[in-house]
Amino acid sequence: MLTCRALWKKLAPLARASSTVCRQNVRRAGRTPLCVPVAHMSTGPVGGGGDNLKYALLVGAAFVGGLTYAVITVKGDQERHRERMAAIASRKQKSASQIHTEPLGELSPAAAPDAEAAAPTADSKPSLPSHAPYLLIGGGTASFAAARSIRARDPGAKVLIITDEPDLPYMRPPLSKELWFSDDPSVTETLRFKQWNGKERSIYFQPPSFYIDTEELRSAENGGVAVLTGRKVVHMDVRGNKVKLDDDMEISYDKCLIATGGVPRNLQVIERAGEEVMKRTTVFRKIDDFKSLDKVSRNTQSITIIGGGFLGSELACALGRRSTESGLEVIQMFPEKGNMGKVLPEYLSNWTTEKVKKEGVKVIREAVVKSVSYKDDKLEIKLKDGRVVRTDHIVAAVGLEPNVDLAKSAGLEVDSDFGGYRVNAELQARSNIWVAGDAACFYDIRLGRRRVEHHDHAVVSGRLAGENMTGANKPYWHQSMFWSDLGPDVGYEAIGIVDSSLPTVGVFAKATAKDTPKAATEESGTGIRSESETEETATSAVAPAAPAPVVEHRDEYGKGVIFYLREKVVVGIILWNVFNRMPIARKIIKDGEEHADLNEVAKLFNIHED
């Protein structure tokens, strides 16, 4: 039916044109009959039947020519259709041999639960498009969120993601959390894990079949998202709207997102220590780092983690659990007085340190590294107070440096205080350039200029940047949250400015069996604790006037709320083993009001309910 309809559309104009010519000629000859006898057409006077014979021949020739053209066109369409179907079948067959995955929570609500995912190989060099309407630099969470947002608002959009990693976009939190607690010996290959709620998923946002090949992007009628792996953007020409890759190829764009994330820091004493020390040191950030450290932990006797923040403490607990089975010695050292000492108030930091010790970790507090050397098949770490630690491998978990390598060539401003590209309220660095994720330094109308390095911020800022790239012109007002788990039994969620140098007020209650990360995910059915995709509206936080609270710091902190104050106004909140209450915390910070009794405000989180 479709072929006949297409054929008629091509022949109809020819038939109508020929019919019109015949009618006009008959009128010029002074005749009006409905039909012309055959004898008149062959023997009539000059200018009558003879002309009709010419036009009849013309119509016939036009019909034959049109029919021939139609047949050739239809055959060509059929051939192209067969080639396209063969390509699709080939792609499906290829993805069928890849690893199974699930949609990743808030970023992939429409993905099929039995979709397949795996990292592509970077051996082949595909034919690259010379132009991309939407160019996204970086292959992390912010970039993927932007791509989904662009396609939602512009279904025919053609999006090209360029990443220097060999993998398709994936989420980073499980690399230091759930993957380490997997019972699957092949977890480093499958990159699948069980969440605290028992459900299994992959770290990849979408399977390979979700994306289109880079060589198909230019001709894709319905657009799509293509990922160019293993390539790095090394130069950006803002005036010419184009970028140069590390192989000197240039790609132009209409609109561009910079979502380059960050680079893990290392200690200068380690970098200066020489090759033997460096090759026995891991800076943890990517899939390859997880695979490498997992292998080291199974083939060595001692690992020392330098750093007491989120990443260092999570890895210490994860490796500590493994040490009870394998006899691995796990050491954690940091310059603070306790774990997460820059974030938690001192009493809670000390409690957390004891929790980490119970996981099988030897904790060395107030440790400032003076030098590192390699002697007698061991790494020797000398501290400034004279202590010496001998170990086989070092994990440097000392923070993240925003990746602003393109700032110089692009002429983009870098914030001198927080690092990262300075952007306006709509996450714009230039009229057609946006920045999202770890690399964006944005202005918070409540808390001032900030730069945030957490998953929820990457999701929300990436999504908003994608919307604004399609003309939404929305400001960034979201107060992003972050979370950290010390195994399945202790975890917290935080929002705003959580700095241990600020005055804090903590309100705690006795914990129950349901007050753990594991129980919270079992109840909610989610794995990644970020409610940014399904925000709720919290009720107003109004506390009655009362004297200032006196908080008793007990030895056990089962669950509670810690308020961080600046000029008597709450600017940050930590929910300690209290889950699914983030909308309330967000509203308290958004309101920016003084509260006379924070014990009353804490009741809004229902911490005293069993």
Q: Contact, 358 vs 327, CB < 8 A? A: no
Q: Where is pLDDT greater, at 321 or 160?
A: 160
CATH of domain 265-400: 3.50.50.60
How many residues are present in the chain? 610
Mean pLDDT value of segment 50-75: 65
CATH number of 131-169+205-261+403-470: 3.50.50.60
Q: Please indicate whether residue 59 or residue 96 has the higher confidence score (pLDDT).
A: 59
Question: pLDDT value at position 119?
Answer: 46
User: Is residue 384 over pLDDT 80?
Assistant: yes
Q: What's the Cα-to-Cα distance from 248 to each of 236, 433, 469, rounded to whole Å?
A: 12, 21, 27
The 3-state DSSP class for residue 347 equals: helix
Assess whether the region 131-169+205-261+403-470 and the region 265-400 belong to the same CATH fold: yes
The total of other beta-carbon atoms located within 10 Å of residue 5's CB is 8
Confidence class of residue 600 from pLDDT cuts 50, 70 and 90? very high
Tens of pLDDT, residues 406-416? 999 999 999 99
- pLDDT confidence tier of residue 97, bands split at 50, 70 and 90: very low
Instruction: Convert the pLDDT of each residue in 577-595 to its tens digit.
Output: 998 899 999 999 999 999 9
Name the average pLDDT for the chain: 81
Quick check: 536 pLDDT over 50?
no
Quote helix, strand, coil % in the chain, to nearest 5.
35, 25, 40
What is the model's pTM? 0.75
pLDDT at 483: 87
Is residue 94 predicted with pLDDT exceeding 60?
Answer: no
Which CATH number applies to 481-604: 3.30.390.30, 3.30.230.10, 3.40.50.1980, 1.20.1250.20?
Answer: 3.30.390.30
Confidence label for 233 from pLDDT (cuts 50, 70 and 90): very high
Q: How far apart are alpha carbons 202 and 206 in whole angstroms? A: 9
Measure the CA–CA gap between 573 and 457, rounded to whole angstroms: 16
User: How far, in Å, are 57, 216, 582 from residue 40 at the CA level?
Assistant: 16, 60, 93
Beta strands per DSSP E along 222-308: 224-228, 233-237, 242-245, 250-258, 262-264, 281-283, 302-306
605 has a pLDDT exceeding 70: yes
Query: Domain boundaries in the chain?
Result: 131-169+205-261+403-470, 265-400, 481-604
% of the chain residues with pLDDT over 90: 60
pLDDT over 70, % of the chain: 72
Measured between alpha carbons, how far is 589 from 566 in angstroms, rounded to an integer? 11
Question: What is the per-residue pLDDT for 485?
Answer: 79
Average pLDDT over residues 71-85: 60
Number of helices (H), then strands (E), in the chain: 15, 28
Q: Order of strands across the sheet with 421-422?
A: 421-422, 440-444, 448-450
What would the pLDDT profile of 450-506 be if each residue is shown by its tens digit?
A: 999 999 999 999 999 999 999 999 999 888 898 887 766 778 899 999 999 999 999
